[in-house]
Amino acid sequence: MSLILETPAAAGRPAMQPVAARVASIIKETHDTFTLTIEPPEGDPVAYFQPGQFSMLYDFGVGELPISISGDPERREHLTYTIRSVGQVTYQLVTRKPGESIAIRGPFGSSWPMKEARGKSVLIIAGGIGLAPLRPAIYHVLRHRGDYNRLVVLYGGRSPRDLLYRKEFAAWGMLPDTQALCTVDYGGVSWRGYVGVVTTLLRHVRMQPTETIAMLCGPEIMMRYATRELESRGLPPSQIYLSMERNMKCAVGFCGHCQMGPYFVCKDGPVFPYTKMKPYMDLYEL
């Protein structure tokens, strides 16, 4: 039996075989989160991704991790990842220097339903680092503005110092037919924005629920409450999509680390229709 797996995107290269890429830049986004930009080999299929997909990033001799791609899908000369430094591998990745190399596999997984959302309004609900996997979807809508109705981005973070892409976020809010609101759990006196859980922002959104596609990414507790709130506001569950997170190793549905009920998050996800995830989201064991 052959153990060599192939993905359509990396046709010709075994899915488990990484390719080296040069670190172009590392930008500090917050006190613990960094945006890493790498230059993949020119024309390599590793750079052809859909919004919502992820790559496996490998720091030589340290380890490999799944990281969602946070850049523009149509700028293939670079691949961008926003990484929170919380462990050994992520620390090593965000302390690389421009010019150094890391290795990459992918892209892997399912993507946000950009085709299904055409002609509809797009409601993005992000929590914490969950804004990173949603940013390519936002870029896509902004690049193809005529294909979509309203764009609403709701973003919740722990505190003002934890918010990602602050300048870019403010710029989104200035665009026509676009609403970008953020809230934090705790704010100081100098913070003049919203304080409270992200679902409270839905009160400020005017959308036709049946003509809206919602895309959610963030802590599962947040997504659970957000889906309840969306349903109570008339959004059909079939129009809600979630990006799930589980420990992954192989990224191609082979090792079983990321199994969630009958699904492998790496292969069947990370983006799932809410209708598929609903039975599993309240289960402690999963």
Q: Is 280 in the site for other proteins (CB under 8 A)?
A: no
Alpha helix (H) residue ranges in 3-158: 88-94, 131-143
Question: Which segment (35-43, 63-71, 194-202, 273-281) binds other proteins by CB under 8 A?
Answer: 194-202
Question: Which segment (34-42, 147-155, 195-203, 208-216) binds other proteins by CB under 8 A?
Answer: 195-203
Strand partners, 242: 216, 272
The correct pick among 24, 103, 142, 197 for binding other proteins (CB under 8 A) is 197
Could you tell me which residues come within 8 angstroms of residue 235 by beta carbon, excluding any fewer than 6 positions away?
123, 209, 210, 212, 214
C-beta of 145: minimal distance to other proteins in Å?
A: 28
β-pairing verdict for 178-184 and 63-68: unpaired
Number of Cβ within a 10 Å radius of residue 197: 17
The correct pick among 245, 251, 260, 269 for binding other proteins (CB under 8 A) is 245
Is residue 214 within 8 Å of 121, Cβ to Cβ? no
C-beta of 257: minimal distance to other proteins in Å?
A: 12
Site string for other proteins, 106-145 (x = CB under 8 A): ---------------------xx-----------------
Instruction: Look up residue 121 and give its amino acid.
Output: S
State the sign of the Cα–Cα–Cα–Cα dihedral 140, 141, 146, 148: positive
The correct pick among 41, 43, 98, 193 for binding other proteins (CB under 8 A) is 193
The correct pick among 100, 145, 175, 186 for binding other proteins (CB under 8 A) is 186
On the 0-12 / 13-18 / 19+ scale of CB atoms within 10 A, 139 is middle
Q: Is 156 in the site for other proteins (CB under 8 A)?
A: yes
Q: Is 231 in the site for other proteins (CB under 8 A)?
A: no
The correct pick among 75, 143, 144, 158 for binding other proteins (CB under 8 A) is 158
Tokens for 185, please give them.
């759990």
Interactions with other proteins, residue window 28-47 (CB under 8 A): 32
The correct pick among 142, 195, 255, 286 for binding other proteins (CB under 8 A) is 195
Strand order in the sheet with 151-157: 194-195, 178-184, 151-157, 121-127, 212-217, 240-243, 271-273
Nearest CB to other proteins, comparing residues 97 and 192: 192
The correct pick among 17, 168, 221, 256 for binding other proteins (CB under 8 A) is 221
Q: Is 209 in the site for other proteins (CB under 8 A)?
A: no
282 vs 91: CA distance, rounded Å: 32
Is residue 174 within 8 Å of 142, Cβ to Cβ? no
Could you tell me which residues come within 8 angstroms of residue 85 by beta carbon, excluding any fewer than 6 positions away?
32, 33, 34, 91, 94
The correct pick among 48, 225, 254, 280 for binding other proteins (CB under 8 A) is 225
> Which residues here bind other proteins, judged by CB under 8 A?
32, 84, 86, 127-128, 156-158, 162, 183, 185-189, 191-197, 199-200, 203-204, 218-222, 225, 245, 247
